[in-house]
Structure 1
Amino acid sequence: MTTGTASATAGGRLLTLAMATIMTMATSLPVFLVGGLSVQIRAEMAFDRTGLGLAAAAFFATSAVTAVAGGSLGERLGARNALRLAMLLGAAALLGIGLVATSWWHLVTLLGVAGVADAIAQPTSNMVVARVASARHHGFAFGLKQSAIPFAALVAGSAVPLVALRAGWRWAFIGAAALALALLAAAASQPITRMPVRAGGRWRPGQRRPLIMLAAVGLVGGGSATAMATFFVDSAVARGLSSGVAGIWLVAGSICCIFGVV
Structure 2
Amino acid sequence: MDERVSWGRVLAAVTCAATVSMLPVFLLGAAAPSLGADLHVDAGRLGIAVSAFWIAMALVGLVGGHVAHARGSRATTIAGIAIAVVSLVGLATAGSFAALVVFAVVGGAATALATPAGDMALFSVLPPERRGFAYGVKQASLPGASLLAGLGVPLVVLTVGWRWAFAAAVLVALPALIALPRRLPRPAVRSAAEPAARRAARPRGLVPVSTAVALAMAAVSATGGFYVVAAVAGGTAAPTAGFLLALGGVCGISGRFVASWRFGTAARPLLVCAGLMAAGGLGTAGLALTGSTGGLAAATVLACGAGWGWNGLLTQDVVASHPEATARASAAIMVGAAVGGVAGPALFGLVATGAGYTVAWLAAGGCLLLAAAVLVVREARRAPAPVSGATGHHR
Name the TM-score, length of structure 1 as normaliser.
Answer: 0.90
Equivalent positions of 1:89-100 (< 5 A) are 89-99=83-93
Determine the structure 2 residue equivalent to 1:4.
Answer: none
Match of 1:198 among 168, 189, 197: 189
Distance 2:115 2:177 in 1: 20
The structure showing larger relative contact order (alpha-carbon pairs under 8 Å, at least 6 residues apart) is 1
Instruction: Report if aligned partners of 1:97, 1:110 keep a CA contact under 8 Å in 2.
Output: yes
Whether 1:183 and 2:178 are equivalent positions in the alignment is no
**1:193: how far off?**
4.8
**Amino acid in the other structure paired with 1:199:** R
Listed one character per residue, the Cα deviations across residues 195-217 of structure 1 (whole Å, up to 9, x for unaligned) are 44323645632321111122111
Answering whether residue 88 of structure 2 is matched by residue 102 of structure 1, we say: no
1:65 to 59, 63, 69: 59
Q: In structure 1, what is the equivalent of residue 212 of structure 2?
A: 217
Per-residue Cα deviation, 1:145-175 (whole angstroms, up to 9, x for no partner): 1101000000000100111111000001111
Alignment-derived partner of residue 147 in structure 2: 154
Q: 2:43 — aligned with what? A: 49
Q: Distance in 1 between matches of 2:121 and 2:172?
A: 22
Letter matched to residue 94 of structure 1: L
Decide which structure has the larger Cα Rg and report it.
2
Partner Cα separation in structure 2 for residue 146 and residue 179 of structure 1: 16
Tell me the C-alpha RMSD between the 2 structures. 2.0
Whether the aligned pair in 2 keeps the contact of 1:23 and 1:87 (CA below 8 Å) is yes
Asked if 2 retains the 8 angstrom alpha-carbon contact of 1:62 and 1:116, the reply is yes
Contact 1:13 / 1:193 at 8 angstroms: preserved in 2?
no
1:227 aligned residue (212, 222, 226): 222
**1:260: Cα distance to partner?**
0.7
Over 3 Å counting, the alpha-carbon distance change for 1:193 and 1:80 in structure 2 is closer
Could you tell me which amino acid in structure 1 is paired with residue 10 of structure 2?
T
Q: CA deviation at 1:73?
A: 1.0
Moved more, 45-54 or 127-136: 127-136
Q: Are positions 1:123 and 2:116 aligned together?
A: yes
Q: Are residues 97 and 91 of structure 1, via their aligned partners in 2, closer, same or farther at CA, if it must alter by over 3 Å? A: same
The one-letter code sitting in structure 2 at the alignment partner of 1:119 is: A
CA distance 1:21–1:10, shift in 2 (3 Å): farther
Code of the residue aligned with 2:111 in structure 1: it is D
Task: For residue 158 of structure 2, give the secondary structure of its aligned residue in structure 1.
Answer: helix
Report what 1:5 is aligned to: none
- From 6, 30, 37, the equivalent of 1:36 is 30
Deviation at 1:183, TM superposition (A): 2.9
Question: Aligned partner of 1:170: which letter?
Answer: R
Letter in 1 for 2:216: G
Pairing 1:136–2:94 present: no
| 1:253 partner amino acid | G
SS at match of 1:167: coil
- Where does residue 8 of structure 2 map in the other structure? 14
State the Cα deviation string for residues 126-153 of structure 1 (Å, max 9, x = none): 1122222223333222211110100000
Where does the alignment leave 5 or more consecutive residues of structure 2 unmatched?
Answer: 258-395
Q: 2 CA distance for matches of 1:179 and 1:22?
A: 6
CA contact (8 A) 1:12 1:193 kept: no
Q: 1:126 to 1:184 in 2, by over 3 A?
A: closer
Structure 1 regions of 5+ residues with no counterpart?
A: 1-7
Corresponding position of 1:75:
69
TM value normalised by structure 2: 0.61
User: Hey, what's the Cα distance between the residues in 2 that align with 1:10 and 1:242?
Assistant: 51
